[in-house]
Chain A
Amino acid sequence: MDGKVIVIGGGLAGLMATIKLAEGGQKVDLFSLVPCKRSHSVCAQGGINAAVNTKGEGDSTWEHFDDTIYGGDFLANQPPVKAMIEAAPSIIYLMDRMGVTFNRTPEGFIDVRRLGGAKYSRTVFAGATTGQQLIYALDEQVRRFEAQGLVKRFEEWEFLSLVLDDEGRCRGITVQDLKSLEIEVFPADAVILATGGPGMIFGRSTNSTINTGNAAAIAYMQGATFANGEFIQIHPSAIPGRDKLRLMSESIRGDGGRVWVYKDGKPWYFLEEWYPAYGNMVPRDIATRAIFKVCVDMKLGVDGENKVYLDISHLDPHEIDRKLAGVVDIYEKFVGDDPRKVPMQTFPAVHYSMGGLWVDYNQMTSIPGLFAAGECEYQYHGANRLGGNSLVAALYAGMVAGPKAIEYTASLTRSHAELPLELYESAKKETQAKNAALFDMQGTENPYRLHEELGEWMVDNVTIVRENDRLKATDEKIQELMERYKNIGVGSGEAWGNQIVPFTRRLWGMMTLARVITLGAMLRNESRGGHYKPEFPERDDENWLKTTRADYSPSGPRFSYEPVDISSIKPRKRRYDVAKEGSKQNG
Chain B
Amino acid sequence: MDKEITFIIKRCKDPNATSYWEEFKVPYFSKMNVVSALMEIQKNPVNARGEVTTPVAWDCNCLEEVCGACTMLINGKVRQSCSALIDKLEQPIRLAPLTKFPLVRDLVVDRQVMFANLSKVSAWIEIDGTHDMGPGPKIPQKVQELAYELSKCMTCGSCMEACPNVNSNSKFIGPAAIAQVDLINSHPTGALQKEKRLLALMGEGGIADCGNAQNCEKVCPKEIPLTRSIAKLNRATTLQGIFGWLGK
**How far does the alpha carbon of A191 sit from the alpha carbon of B167 in the complex, in Å?**
40
Of A73-81, A94-102, A301-309, the one with at least 4 CB within 8 A of chain B: A94-102
Q: Does A179 contact B (CB under 8 A)?
A: yes
Contact of B105 among A90, A155, A496 (CB under 8 A): A496
- Once the chains bind, are A143 and B124 in contact (CB under 8 Å)? yes
* A residues less than 8 Å from B147 (CB atoms): 101
B123 CB-CB contact with A under 8 Å: yes
B126–A144 touching, CB < 8 Å: yes
Question: Which residues from A are CB-within-8-Å of B110?
Answer: 179
Query: Measured between alpha carbons, how far is A545 from B130 in the docked complex, in Å?
Result: 37
Q: Is the CB of B36 within 8 A of A241?
A: yes
Query: Looking at the complex, which one of B42, B45, B129, B154 makes contact with A42 (CB distance below 8 Å)?
Result: B154
| Chain B residues near A244 (CB-CB < 8 A) | 63-64, 82
Q: A34 on the interface (CB 8 Å rule)?
A: yes
On whether the beta carbons of A101 and B135 are closer than 8 Å, the reply is no
Tell me, yes or no, whether A254 is within 8 Å of chain B by CB. Answer: no
- Residues 27-44 of chain A: 1 if any B CB is under 8 Å from the residue's CB, otherwise 0? 000000011011110110
Q: How far is the CA of A500 from the CA of B53 in the complex (A)?
A: 13
Residues on A with beta carbons closer than 8 Å to the beta carbon of B42: 446, 448, 500
Contact with A along B112-156 (1 / 0, CB 8 A): 100100110011111101101111101111001001100110110
| Interchain CB contact under 8 A, A497 and B154 | no
CB-CB under 8 A from A336, the residues of chain B are 85
Enumerate chain A residues within 8 angstroms of B60, measured Cβ to Cβ.
Answer: 209
A333 and B65 in contact (CB under 8 A), knowing A108-B140, A241-B31?
yes
Residues of B within 8 A of A209 (CB): 60-61, 63
A496 near B64 (CB under 8 angstroms)?
Answer: no
For A23, the chain B residues whose CB sits under 8 A away are: 129-130
Q: Which residue of A lies closest to B84 (CB)?
A: A333
Q: Out of A37, A98, A243, A491, which one reaches B45, CB within 8 Å?
A: A491
Cβ 8 A contact of A98, one of B68, B119, B125: B125
B164 at the interface (CB under 8 A from A): no
Using A108-B141, A330-B64, A499-B55 as known contacts, say yes or no to A243 and B152 having CB atoms under 8 A apart: no
- Which A residues are CB-close (under 8 A) to B138? 104, 107-109
- Residues of the A chain whose Cβ atoms lie less than 8 Å from the Cβ of B151: 101, 126, 129, 133, 136
Q: What does the 1/0 interface line of A443-483 toward B look like (CB < 8 Å)? A: 00010110010000000000000000000000000000000
B132 touches A90 (CB 8 A): yes
Chain A, 85-119, contact with B by CB distance < 8 Å: what is the 0/1 string? 00000101110111101111111111000000000
- In Å, the complex CA distance between A37 and B106 comes to 23
Select A97's contact among B65, B85, B133, beta carbons within 8 Å: B133
Would B57 and A499 count as touching, CB distance under 8 A? Answer: yes
CB contacts (< 8 Å) of B118 on chain A: these are 140, 143
Whether the Cβ atoms of B64 and A35 lie closer than 8 Å is: no
A448 touches B43 (CB 8 A): yes
A-B contact count (CB 8 A): 194
A-side contacts of B36, CB under 8 Å: 241-243
User: Min CB distance, A105 to chain B, in Å?
Assistant: 8
A146 at the interface (CB under 8 A from B): yes
Q: Hey, which chain A residues are within 8 Å of B95, CB to CB? A: none
**A101 and B148 within 8 A (CB):** yes
| Interface check B104, CB cutoff 8 A | yes
Instruction: Tell me how far the C-beta of A9 lies from the nearest C-beta in chain B, rounded to whole angstroms.
Output: 14
Docked-complex contact B43 and A446, CB < 8 angstroms = yes
Q: Are B140 and A132 in contact (CB under 8 A)?
A: no
A140 touches B123 (CB 8 A): yes
Rounded to whole Å, the gap between the CB of A277 and the closest CB of chain B is 32
Q: How many residues of A contact B (CB 8 A)?
A: 71
A143 to B148 Cα, complex, angstroms: 21
Q: In the docked arrangement, what's the CA distance between A110 and B138, Å? A: 8
Name the one of A99, A132, A243 contacting B35, with C-beta atoms under 8 angstroms: A243
Query: CB distance A108 to B139 under 8 Å?
Result: yes
CB of A127 within 8 A of CB of B57, answer: no
Chain B interface mostly helix, strand, loop or mixed?
A: loop
Per the bound structure, the CA–CA distance linking A43 and B115 in Å amounts to 19
Residue of B nearest to A240 (CB): B31
The CA-CA distance from A83 to B126 in the complex, in Å, is: 27
Determine if B220 is an interface residue (Cβ-Cβ < 8 Å): no
Taken together as a complex, chains A and B put the C-alpha atoms of A247 and B62 apart, in Å, by 11
A19 at the interface (CB under 8 A from B): yes
Contact with A along B66-96 (1 / 0, CB 8 A): 1111000000000000110100000000000
Q: How far is the CA of A583 from the CA of B32 in the complex (A)?
A: 50
B184 at the interface (CB under 8 A from A): yes
Check A19/B130 contact, CB under 8 A, given A110-B135, A143-B123, A448-B43.
Answer: yes
B100: Cβ under 8 A from any A Cβ: no
Closest to A110 in B: B135
Q: State the CA gap A559–B144 with chains docked (Å).
A: 50
| Interface check A437, CB cutoff 8 A | no
List residues of chain B with CB within 8 A of the CB of A102.
144
B14 within 8 A of A: yes
Asked whether any CB of chain A lies closer than 8 Å to the CB of B10, the reply is no
Is A494 located at the chain interface by the 8 A CB criterion?
A: yes
Contact with A along B224-248 (1 / 0, CB 8 A): 0000000000000000000000000
B65 cross-chain contacts in A, Cβ below 8 A: 330, 333
Rounded to whole angstroms, the CA-CA distance of A241 and B152 in the bound complex is 24
Asked if B39 CB lies within 8 Å of chain A CBs, one says yes
Which A residues lie within 8 Å of B106 (CB)? 497
Measuring CB to CB, which residues of chain A are less than 8 angstroms from any residue of chain B?
Answer: 19-20, 23, 34-35, 37-40, 42-43, 90, 92-94, 96-99, 101-110, 126-127, 129, 132-133, 136-137, 140-141, 143-144, 146-147, 155, 179, 208-210, 241-244, 246-247, 330, 333-336, 399, 446, 448-449, 452, 491-492, 494, 496-500
Instruction: Give residues in B with beta carbon < 8 Å to A.
Output: 13-14, 29, 31-33, 35-36, 39, 42-45, 54-55, 57, 60-69, 82-83, 85, 104-106, 108, 110-112, 115, 118-119, 122-127, 129-130, 132-136, 138-141, 144, 147-148, 151-152, 154-155, 183-184, 187, 189-190
> What 12 additional pairs, Cβ within 8 angstroms, besides A37-B154, A209-B60, A243-B63?
A23-B129, A34-B69, A93-B132, A98-B127, A99-B183, A99-B189, A101-B147, A155-B112, A179-B104, A244-B63, A336-B85, A446-B42
For the complex of A and B, 9 pairs with smallest distance between CB atoms? A497-B105, A108-B138, A140-B124, A243-B36, A244-B63, A38-B67, A97-B136, A96-B136, A90-B132
Listed by A's residue number, 27 A-B pairs whose Cβ atoms lie within 8 Å are A20-B130, A23-B129, A35-B115, A37-B115, A38-B155, A39-B67, A99-B136, A104-B139, A104-B141, A108-B141, A126-B151, A129-B152, A132-B154, A133-B151, A137-B124, A147-B119, A179-B110, A209-B63, A210-B61, A243-B33, A336-B85, A446-B45, A449-B43, A497-B104, A497-B106, A498-B57, A498-B105
